[in-house]
Structure 1
Amino acid sequence: MNLFRSLPHGCTPARTSTGCATLGRSTLCQRALSTTTLVPEQLAGTAPAHRCYAFLHTPQPPSAYPTKYTTPVQRKLLLATAPWGGAVNFAWSPSQPVHPRPPNPANAEQSQTYHLTAFSSARGKLEIEAVSLANVEEVARTLHAHIEPRTTASGGLSDCDSESEPNDLHLYVCTHGARDCRCGNTGGAVARTIRAELDKRRERDASDPSTRIKLAEVAHVGGHK
């Protein structure tokens, strides 16, 4: 089970000793219990770090993904972004925006359009409403620009970005059971428990701080042992 957490803009996650990889202000974690500080490269099961991590929103949850889930849009975007440290994965949540599946199943993958959410340490969160084979190159350029820090009028580096939501906390849990049964069992239980707790808090108080927590489930992120 992997947990991807996007922290509020400007925060740096603490290191643990059992499988955490940092993505700027986000972290990919596995069973983080000990407080002993170790070099990340020495950690068994550590997920790879990336300069930008993008999620394509799917209408079906990861529990319905096949063992190795990929689509033409994901492959082409990954090919364009991987050389400079980008990663492209799939995510699902009942509350996140999603494009419906094409009506023609025979041509579904070729004509599929996705909503995309991306994170970088330089500029925080970025939303792109429509990604398809027709605009993959343009989207890749946008993501590449998103990893570069903004500059102020005086030429200095800016620590804020209009795309970022500093009060939001994004949690991504791997529930891709067909790829790893531990993600399906443990990851699924974690996602259900968090979602139930969030629903309970929000039903009790619509202004509860938990409203800033955004939970989604994702496909395999790597780093399993």
Structure 2
Amino acid sequence: MASPLLATASAHLKSKGIGVNVVYDQSLPVPESGMLGMGEEKYQARLYWADGRIRVWGRFSMATLSSADLEKELAYTPSIAAEGWPLLATSAKRRPKEILICTHGARDCRCHDKGVPLLEALREEVRKKGLENEVKIGEVAHVGGHKYAANAILLPTMDMLSNLTAKDAPQVLSQLLTLTAHALSPDKGNGTHLWSHWRGRYGLTGDQQAKLWSTVDPNAKKVQDQRETVQLRFRTFEGEERLVQGKVGENLLEVGKANDLPSLEGVCGGNLECATCHLYISASPAAPVPDPSETEMDMMGYAIGYKEGESRLGCQVKVTAGLGEWCKNGGVIGLPRF
């Protein structure tokens, strides 16, 4: 989809930590004007927050991107509950729920081959349970990464589930209904939930994700607290050196977020769908990190200021004791300008 509006919206909103994607919705009427190739683009758009708040624009256009209305909405920040993360507002629980499946075969055939059967199974499950007025099943452009297909996004909870099959349809539906009923908190009494397929929740920080996961797996926090801590050396674009602590097993994006380092956005949540956690690992001395995967290399094609032999995505580089020793011996992790 060669859409100037999509490209501009993605660039503008990703700089603010907001991911942008396209949903294919057959139930929406085709607008009389404003479609791709028919003058100014105008589409329906929805903005979601981690507490279930939603803002809908009937006709989102280039003008909307610079409007005071949008800026006002972007200033909203969900309140953090006692649990340690935003909880679903009561009003959000009453709204229709939605499950979006990645079926983007043009980007990756695996997403189509795995996603379409799950999509059809979910629609059948909703029909069997008589939930057509409560739960909507839709399709979304590429999300989650091909090796994790089939991928699903639950709305309004904004949870992502991956490595799903058509057989998982009943449990995926149950997961969404129970999460909304429990205000986004895991229901420990329901063993059918697909937490082993959970990839994270959009809108949460790394610390909030960890707190949520620790309620699902009590051992997670214990293991996290016991991890070795090493010192890492970063250098900003302006040349300022920052020494920060990172735990073995974390990735460099998580370290950057935890220590408020500049230019590390990671708006896709570390799912290899953007290059906003791009950084530089100096080649001399050589760093003890694995070579980038083919998928990482593909995504680095979008990195601003790419440097051959140095550019990496922070979400794909794990903290190790060896990396800490490398920094101690003069190794530096560079941060880009943007």
Classify the TM-score, shorter chain. Answer: 0.5 to 0.7
Match of 2:54 in 1: 125
Match of 1:135 in 2: 64
- Which among 9, 12, 17 is matched to residue 77 of structure 1? 9
1:212 aligns with 2:134: yes
Q: State the alpha-carbon separation in 2 of the partners of residues 71 and 119 from structure 1.
A: 22
Match of 1:172 in 2: 100
Contact 2:35 2:41 in 1 (8 A): no
Match of 1:191 in 2: 119
**Which amino acid is the alignment partner of residue 83 of structure 1?**
S
Residues 164 and 178 of structure 1, relative CA distance in 2, 3 Å threshold: same
How far the C-alpha of 1:73 sits from its partner, in A, is: 1.1
Match of 1:100 in 2: 31
Residues 128 and 164 of structure 1, relative CA distance in 2, 3 Å threshold: farther
CA displacement, residues 5-32 of structure 1 (integer Å, 9 cap, x when unaligned): xxxxxxxxxxxxxxxxxxxxxxxxxxxx
Contact 2:35 2:43 in 1 (8 A): no
Contact 1:123 1:150 in 2 (8 A): no
Higher relative contact order, chain-length normalized (CA < 8 Å, sep 6+): 1
TM-score normalised over the length of structure 1: 0.52
1:144 aligns with 2:74: yes
The structure carrying a bigger helix percent of its residues is 2
Q: State the alpha-carbon separation in 1 of the partners of residues 55 and 90 from structure 2.
A: 9
Q: State the alpha-carbon separation in 1 of the partners of residues 114 and 35 from structure 2.
A: 35
TM-score normalised over the length of structure 2: 0.36
Equivalent pairs: percent with the same residue? 25
Residues 92 and 142 of structure 1, relative CA distance in 2, 3 Å threshold: farther
Runs (5+) with no aligned partner, structure 2 = 81-85, 148-338
SS at match of 1:89: coil
How far the C-alpha of 1:143 sits from its partner, in A, is: 4.7
The structure carrying a bigger strand percent of its residues is 1
Residues 124 and 71 of structure 1, relative CA distance in 2, 3 Å threshold: same
Runs (5+) with no aligned partner, structure 1 = 1-68, 152-157, 203-207
CA displacement, residues 81-136 of structure 1 (integer Å, 9 cap, x when unaligned): 111211111002233x355263897x43x512111122221453322211012222
SS at match of 1:80: helix
Q: State the alpha-carbon separation in 2 of the partners of residues 123 and 71 from structure 1.
A: 28
Alignment RMSD (CA, Å) = 3.2
* Bigger Rg, structure 1 or 2: 2
How far the C-alpha of 1:223 sits from its partner, in A, is: 2.8
Q: State the alpha-carbon separation in 2 of the partners of residues 143 and 75 from structure 1.
A: 20
**Which amino acid is the alignment partner of residue 49 of structure 2?**
S
Contact 1:122 1:149 in 2 (8 A): yes
SS at match of 1:164: helix
How far the C-alpha of 1:195 sits from its partner, in A, is: 1.1
Contact 2:43 2:61 in 1 (8 A): yes
Residues 172 and 113 of structure 1, relative CA distance in 2, 3 Å threshold: same
